[in-house]
Amino acid sequence: MLTSRKFERPRLPNMWTSTDLIRGVMEAHGTLISHGFASKVPGGLPASMLSTIAYLDALDQVLERSRGLILSDKMQDTVRSAISDVQHRVMTWPELHLGEGDSISPALYECCRWTVMLYSMAVIFPIPVASGWHVRLLQHLHVVLEDAQFEVEDAHALLLWSLFTANIAAVRTSEQPYFEQKLRGLLITMKYVSWTVVHDQLVQFLWADSACNEGGLAVWNAVWTHDAALERPAKLLDEQLGSRA
């Protein structure tokens, strides 16, 4: 999977399988946590993309629940095979070809594709950042967000997750100011004044608490440290309370 660093499609076919492991998780837990991809993306994601995200989500749960546990050699081999399988699926997502009945915008599709790739490479199939892969990927996402107008309110939930994921990856990079500014603007638009409320939205997508919560909370605090936005949360809270009176 070395091609992941250059964001090229793997040249070899998928030689791994995660079917048994993933099916077991799905059967045990039913609806997966990341239902936001199915219900909160205007126009709907293609079935093949939703299937890969479901596999990624199930594997995420396996890794989350196995932290600190001593796994048998057989289980370790199964998990490693599942990780390679899911990463291959993510890296081989096709370009968007709208079919009859499809209505998702190319910008939303690309936003989702690049952010899922970022999440997978950081959390599921971690690659050392020394090569700068995360900066190059953030630059791709930057272009998508810069060229698109996400004015559809229904798309805000996906964009919120995308920007929090990007901000965690962008810390101490040249892309950090852009993604912080973009997230701050969205939070003001959505009138979110509580990390708890934001977290409730994030976990509807791909969000492993053990891997993401610390960084997510740090991002939440960072976006309000600038003088121009420092008093925004309090003002927005006053507005919300006033509207309920």
Domain count, the chain: 1
pTM of the model: 0.79
Query: How far is the C-alpha of 179 from the C-alpha of 35, rounded, in Å?
Result: 25
**Tens digits of residue pLDDT in 22-69:** 665 555 555 455 689 988 888 888 888 888 888 888 888 777 777 666
DSSP string, 116-137: HHHHIIIIIS---GGG-HHHHH
Q: Which domain holds residue 220?
A: 2-95+102-244
Residue 233 binned pLDDT confidence (cut-offs 50, 70, 90): very low
Name which residue leads in pLDDT, 136 or 91: 136
**Residue 49: per-residue pLDDT:** 86
Average pLDDT over residues 143-162: 82
What is the C-alpha separation between 164 and 157, in angstroms, rounded? Answer: 11
The model's pLDDT over 192-228, given as tens digits with 9 standing for 90+, comes to 888 999 999 999 999 999 889 999 999 999 888 753 4
pLDDT at 97: 63
Residues 87, 117 contacting (CB under 8 angstroms): no
pLDDT bucket at 231, cuts 50 / 70 / 90: very low
pLDDT given for residue 22 in this prediction: 60
Flag whether pLDDT at 154 surpasses 60.
Answer: yes
